[in-house]
Structure 1
Amino acid sequence: MGYKMGADGLLDFSDCENDGEKLDQCWDYFVENLSNVEVVAFDDKLVRGFTEVSFEHIVSGSSNKFDAVLDHDIPFVECRAARLPLIAKVIKGELKSQVYRMSYRRGKKTTVRRVLTVIEIEHEYYVVVLDEAKDIYRIRTAFPASKGYYDRCIRGQGTNAGIWHKA
């Protein structure tokens, strides 16, 4: 089927008749632009993990977004899926983003440092989450966020690590 880009740089689903066709279009974009290419972050670290599992998490959603333990139970969320093209642009520094680092704890020990890159487009936030493991990153997820979420969860808990952007 291929995919169609809108004038805003996001995926355009106007020719799709149902969520299945939209999902196919997203998968085509994902395979061509993320999973079958080498993605290198702005700070020259390789980004891994563009798999079917990460794809499903990026384009799906949860009916209970307040319980992070629950799995996504909504297989396709258009506002998340349309933003797939932003992921590589944010990671590579093609779009200016604010970077926050957060420690991720399991039990009593810190296992992974999370890197969250946040862009603001017309008062809307988009967050790309990477797990940092030595000299590589692993894509975790990406999602649109509200200003309240950004202020409370990212600015409130993360450590500002600067800006990713290639001039």
Structure 2
Amino acid sequence: MIHVLELPPAGMPRAWFAHDEADLARKVAATDALQPWEIHDVLTPQELLAASGHDAPDAAARAALPAICALGDAHGWHTPLYRADHLLGRGVLRPEPVPPREALAAALSARGGMACLYWSDAEAIAAFEGADPRLAGEARWWARRALHQQLVELEVLADDQ
């Protein structure tokens, strides 16, 4: 299970969970200003060309879609290109891999405030118990409390902590 703790610039911290990375992606996209494919996507220049109605990088495609053709020429038509607008900038595609986790974390961070992601129950428990310095001190007491309540509700922790 993945645990998320959002600490907005104003207001109370909010803890929530996702069953797995795909569930996290759906939940992040449901409340994000960007489309899911803008948050994270992997596609080839050939797929981009086909999605735009062209089968090959012929003269018509090059005239209509010079940027896509430049990507195909530069990186190869079947090279996976990664998109993660919150991380890389709007519409940027690059051949270096962008893990979905990094793209989702960037999407959460773009909302303002701070987002803490714990990729397992063990990480969330450790954070609650003091292993995450972002939750240390009296100023973050409410954040730790929100995480604790989430862990108790999910029966990850007993209510006697």
Q: TM-score scaled by structure 2? A: 0.24
Decide which structure has the larger Cα Rg and report it: 2
Q: TM-score, normalization: structure 1?
A: 0.23
Q: Which has the higher strand share?
A: 1
Relative to its length, the structure with more helix (as a share) is 2
Q: Which has the higher contact order (CA 8 A, sep 6+)?
A: 2
